[in-house]
A and B are shown apart, each in its own frame.
Chain A
Amino acid sequence: MIPELGHFALILALAVALVQAIIPGMGLLRRRADWMAIAKPAALIQFALVLLAYGILTYSFIVHDFSVLYVANTSNSELPLIYRISGVWGAHEGSLLLWVLILSAWTAILAMYSKHYPVDMGAGVISVLGFISIGFLLFSLFTSNPFIRLFPVPIDGGDLNPLLQDPVMAIHPPMLYMGYVGFAVPFAFAIVALVQGKLDTAWARWVRPWALTAWVCLTGGITLGSWWAYYELGWGGWWFWDPVENASFMPWLTGTALIHSLAVTEKRHALRNWTILLAIISFSLSLLGTFLVRSGVLTSVHAFASDPTRGIYVLAFLGLVVGISLSLFAFRAWQLRTLTPFSLISREMALLTNSVLLLVTMLTVLLGTLYPLILEALGGGKISVGPPYFSRVFIPLMIPVVFLVAIGSLIRWREDSLSTLIKQLRTPAILAIVFASVILLLLPGKASFTAWFALLLAFWVINSCFVQLQQRLRHSQGLLQGLRRTPRGWYGMILAHIGLGFTVIGIALSSVYSQEQDVHMVKGDTRTLGEYRFELVDVERITGPNYQADMGTIRIYKDEKELMTLHPEKRIYNVRKNVMTEAAIHSNLLRDLYVSLGEQRNANTGAWSVRLYYKPFILWIWLGGLFMVLGGLLAVTDKRYRLEVKQEKVKLDANHVTAS
């Protein structure tokens, strides 16, 4: 009975979403305040209903209600509680429901804040979000209903994919979805601006915190996903240019461009069309990501359900949403073009250049991801486009982007002189050369130009951040007061840019200086990797809550001193019989020691296949991601957004009075 209640709640949510989309939307066009007033309660009710449905599905998981098909497929009586809760989004139907839940949650939050926006803007945005919600609710109800019953009721369930039975994997999808769905809000704002043919600096100030929040979630989701792949997949890789990864990376690239372009639109009232286009593209790419993952048109290492009928639905929905919004852009954006002047040497230009480069990068990733599909559709046969291609095109495009980050955050708005700029950047540049060279000399192993160049770029960015700090403090009386007066948004930017530098350092040093061995070892064997010696002490059989495992004991020595003991595992999960590699990793800021246990190669000699890795500075990749997230969070919480939103409201109301 309870699952039917969930099903019913979902149907009701669809009905409410229809109301939420249509009535305020009509109100916006007909200028009827009473119709627009429906927006807020409708958004809140829809959220409550979706939350109820989601709660019921979670409840079904917790109590092992295997009469629900979805639960029977993705859960099992042996599954620990935390994975029963995260198992709700462990497969297609549930993750779609999660998507809808997050969308309605964002809408509800927006509705709560809607008193800060003009009535028509708030109603319009909620209406657009309502239309998106309708699409996904229909998708959920008609092609992927999680509440379908199963009869006869099986005794036990088919278990959650063991790859997903991991704490990080439990939070990675919601984070990613919050990012994906988060871009729906800037998108909705952009649509309303196009419909109204009006976009002022206040608009940019309203959108910025939303775009930033989405970007923070997406950055966090991608960082976690990459870290998860690193320790869970068992061969030390952290980014595979897999279609599913690319699907999350493309909106990140344009989202990054969007938050910077929004800054220009807010501060200088320029690049309005560009901002709108980026907002539309970022959300379109989120939808495209859903399509790519759900339709199965692209093969992927990720174990998501795929089904062509679902693919057709998402494709139609994608076509409708993106087609309409790009048409609106084509016919309305021209009216929003701006005349704000700026010179070639100005912050506007630096930020615009970088966002163009980010867009080019996104298009390149998109091309690489879709090229096999396009070629095959044209009858050109099957090809693969993999990491070698992406690295080759991605890195050259990123070099100017990273280079410009330092300039873009130092240069003045509107117009700056080249000579001042050079004067400002001379010290960080020289210091970057010194730092990069010294670090390279300190690192063991042969000197590599690549590593040196990457370090140079990273320190160029990091040093420029300190120059900015110094400049900021120069004009203030007293260090502490200067620091206190500096807005959080500024600190956020600095933190995120330093994070970018860290990530560059991590990628470069770990790729250039990594060492690995893929060997067959019997008990007592040792192998040397750099200055570390690995000894396979033992492999024993252990029993986990829902798996059996071979657990290796590997002792690591440095200079003949015992450093640590690692326990990599090879697990076989009881229900699905999947074999999973649980790598054992010892991390610190300087290096990771990574050990993963393969299969027993030879039963007679007892030889095990073992992979040993030494990866210097790899932690910095995700540390950089963490800094970017923290920076974004600082910027979102900048109090000036809230204050100015209120001021804007007062001003606008005053305008309304004078107008009427």
Chain B
Amino acid sequence: MAYKIACLCLLLFFVTTSSAEIAGFPFESEAQEQRFRELSAELRCLVCQNQSLADSNAGLAQDLRSELYQQVLGGNSNNQIINFMTDRYGDFILYKPRFATKTLLLWLTPILLFIVGIFCLIRFSKFRNQRQQTQVSEEDLQKIRALLQAEEEKR
């Protein structure tokens, strides 16, 4: 999970790893190993229901990992591998949903909410700013004076 965040979230930068073996699979290059890590973290173990292939020790996860390993070693692209998986298991196997019509709202709503939130804040602050020059009724002023005096007396 920890490296999952590292690999998958904001960084298109780089992650340091120096291992050469995952789940007993030897890799020829660091790039291959990196791809294996990323993909196995992005694919869901179907029988565990909420673990990635990387995290799971279930039999099916092991089989799918070895399938993944062979495909990575065989030089298949990430897209090819992901298509291979979804052709057999459906979109459910992807932890990172594809950007498609049916996931449009999923990917766009956070941005939309952010913009709406900021927009409302700006409008609201303008309203507040104008309110600064406001009227205070004589009654209220008297109340305020009384309260201030009461505070004063307490000290």
For window 5-28 of chain B, which residues contact chain A by CB distance below 8 Å?
Answer: 5-6, 8-11, 13-19, 21-24
Closest residue of chain B to A391, judged by CB? B9
- Smallest beta-carbon distance B45→chain A, Å: 10
Bound CA–CA A514/B37 (angstroms): 13
List A contacts of B44 (CB < 8 A): 384, 386
Neighbour of B2 across the interface among A236, A384, A393, CB < 8 A: A236
- Smallest beta-carbon distance A549→chain B, Å: 16
Cross-chain contact A396 with B10 (CB below 8 angstroms):
yes
Q: A511-B6, A519-B21 are in contact. Are A386 and B52 (CB under 8 A)?
A: yes
Q: Does B110 contact A (CB under 8 A)?
A: yes
**Which of A128-136, A276-284, A351-359, A463-471 is found at the contact surface with chain B?**
A351-359
Q: Does A545 contact B (CB under 8 A)?
A: no
Interface membership of chain A positions 215-227, coded 1 if the CB is closer than 8 angstroms to chain B and 0 otherwise: 0000000000000
The count of chain A contact residues (Cβ–Cβ below 8 Å) is 74
Cross-chain contact A389 with B50 (CB below 8 angstroms):
no
The count of chain B contact residues (Cβ–Cβ below 8 Å) is 59
Neighbour of B24 across the interface among A394, A397, A601, CB < 8 A: A601
List B contacts of A395 (CB < 8 A): 5, 9-10
Q: Does A364 contact B (CB under 8 A)?
A: yes
Neighbour of A388 across the interface among B16, B18, B23, B96, CB < 8 A: B96
Cross-chain contact A301 with B49 (CB below 8 angstroms):
yes
Cross-chain contact B42 with A518 (CB below 8 angstroms):
no
Cross-chain contact A341 with B110 (CB below 8 angstroms):
no
Cross-chain contact B18 with A515 (CB below 8 angstroms):
yes
Cross-chain contact A448 with B15 (CB below 8 angstroms):
yes
Interface membership of chain A positions 341-385, coded 1 if the CB is closer than 8 angstroms to chain B and 0 otherwise: 111100001001100110110011001100100010000111111
Q: Does B79 contact A (CB under 8 A)?
A: no
Cross-chain contact A512 with B8 (CB below 8 angstroms):
no
List B contacts of A391 (CB < 8 A): 4-5, 8-10
Interface membership of chain B positions 36-49, coded 1 if the CB is closer than 8 angstroms to chain A and 0 otherwise: 00000110100011
Cross-chain contact A387 with B5 (CB below 8 angstroms):
yes
Bound CA–CA A393/B51 (angstroms): 20
Bound CA–CA A618/B5 (angstroms): 13
Which of A233, A387, A507, A615 has the most chain B CB within a 10 Å cutoff? A387
Cross-chain contact A341 with B114 (CB below 8 angstroms):
no
Closest residue of chain A to B147, judged by CB? A651
Cross-chain contact B110 with A360 (CB below 8 angstroms):
yes
Cross-chain contact A517 with B19 (CB below 8 angstroms):
yes
- Smallest beta-carbon distance A87→chain B, Å: 24
Which of B17, B54, B97, B105 has the most chain A CB within a 10 Å cutoff? B97
List B contacts of A512 (CB < 8 A): 6, 11, 15-16
Q: Does A54 contact B (CB under 8 A)?
A: no
Neighbour of B128 across the interface among A237, A341, A381, A382, CB < 8 A: A341
Q: Does A609 contact B (CB under 8 A)?
A: yes
Q: Does A151 contact B (CB under 8 A)?
A: no
Residues of A within 8 A of B (CB): 233, 235-240, 242-243, 299-301, 339, 341-344, 349, 352-353, 356-357, 359-360, 363-364, 367-368, 371, 375, 380-389, 391-397, 445-446, 448-450, 507, 510-520, 527, 529-530, 598-599, 601, 607, 609, 615, 618
Give 19 A-B contacts (CB < 8 Å), ordered by A residue: A237-B1, A238-B1, A341-B129, A360-B110, A367-B110, A371-B105, A380-B102, A381-B90, A381-B102, A383-B91, A387-B1, A391-B10, A395-B10, A511-B4, A514-B6, A518-B21, A518-B23, A520-B23, A529-B18
